[in-house]
Amino acid sequence: MFVLGARFTCLTLRRINGLHAKRAFSPAHGVVITAAGRDLPKRCTGHGSCAPDGQPEPGETCGEPGPNTKETNVALRDILVLIDAETKAAGPYGLALAAAAGASATGAFMVAEPNLARYAGLGLPKDVIEAADGRARDLAAQHLADFEAAAKLAGVPAETLAIAGSLNPEGELARLAGHFDLMVVEQADPDSMASGNRFAEAVLFGSGRPILMVPYIQRARPVLGKVLVAWDGGRASARALGDAMPLLSKAEKVELISVQRAGDTGVELPGFNIARHLARHGINVELQKLVTTMDIANTILSHASDSGADLLVMGGYGHSKLREMVLGGTTRTIMKSMTLPTFFSH
């Protein structure tokens, strides 16, 4: 386990199952992969074949797959899993998802370090503050070791890191998440000290990547029997649908739901064109219009429960975050009240 934070400029992340990667970090530029082990994917150079080091292999041309080339189109290959002392669902779910997708998983732990200014104001001696800091890091190390052990049992290539020493942990996590296909995070338990929703929102707005939020009561493994896609024709829902294609392509059935308030007039079948779009990708899709007198969030959650859906896909914060914080909104309501894993993209 290695530590990532404002005080650290370079680190090596240990990848288990015989795989290793070296990453460099700066608070201004985030994490950049600089070297990797035997799982480094092949890539085309533009003038030769696909090769690990970017150099053409004899007798091959770019665009012609070499013997070790893997299909990377529409696939999850690199998943970030956020864990802390309170989470119970995110780790197992994220590792099971990685195993099913043939992806690598990185466990990230947000180290809850002492607030130095507050402790200093209480007049606590330096050694007391350092002891609290050490306990926080030891706790992170233990949870990340547990994640590594679980990954090894699941056969998932994995690495771990701790984010520490930062005055802006949300920003650090958002920059880190930008280097992955997806971040798995656990819904905050209202009865615990978990801050999963806060970090989830930071990643949604700051990383350009989607998140998959798992209910804190979730114990079942990932299933893609039936996936619901909440569609309103807006930018956020279009982005979510595109980002979720690796999951939608694996689903047995996708139900595209469009919520309309009772008495509203409009297109009889909103979403028709996007349903056709999914069908052209070979996805088994059905369009469903929901007419309701309830708010949109509870209509979606009620339908998800009644239909036995395994996953919900939706755009996150189609309105401004400030507007949703002041007036309430679909995204915040679903994050608070979700009953099934939900894929958000902004």
Counting residues of the chain whose pLDDT is more than 90, the rounded percentage is 45
- Asked which of 16-25, 89-98, 101-110, 157-166 is least confident by mean pLDDT, the reply is 16-25
Distances (CA, A) of 262 to 242, 258, 259, 296: 29, 13, 10, 12
| pLDDT > 60? residue 211 | yes
Instruction: Indicate the DSSP class of residue 40.
Output: P
| pLDDT > 70? residue 72 | no
Per domain, the residue ranges of the chain are 75-214, 226-345
Distance, CA of 62 to CA of 200 (rounded, Å): 39
CATH of 226-345, one of 3.40.50.970, 2.30.110.10, 3.40.50.620, 3.40.470.10: 3.40.50.620
**Residue whose token pair is 């999963």:** 196
Distance, CA of 202 to CA of 166 (rounded, Å): 15
Secondary structure element (H or E) that encloses residue 115, with its range: none
Distances (CA, A) of 28 to 25, 34, 174: 9, 17, 12
Decide whether 75-214 matches 226-345 in CATH topology.
yes
| Whole-number CA gyration radius for the chain | 22
Domain 75-214: give its CATH code: 3.40.50.620
Instruction: Indicate the DSSP class of residue 191.
Output: T
Work out the pLDDT band at 57, boundaries 50, 70, 90: very low
Stretch 100-124: mean pLDDT, rounded? Answer: 76
Cα 325 to chain centroid, rounded: 22
Q: Kindly give the pairing relationship between strand 20-26 and strand 10-14.
A: antiparallel
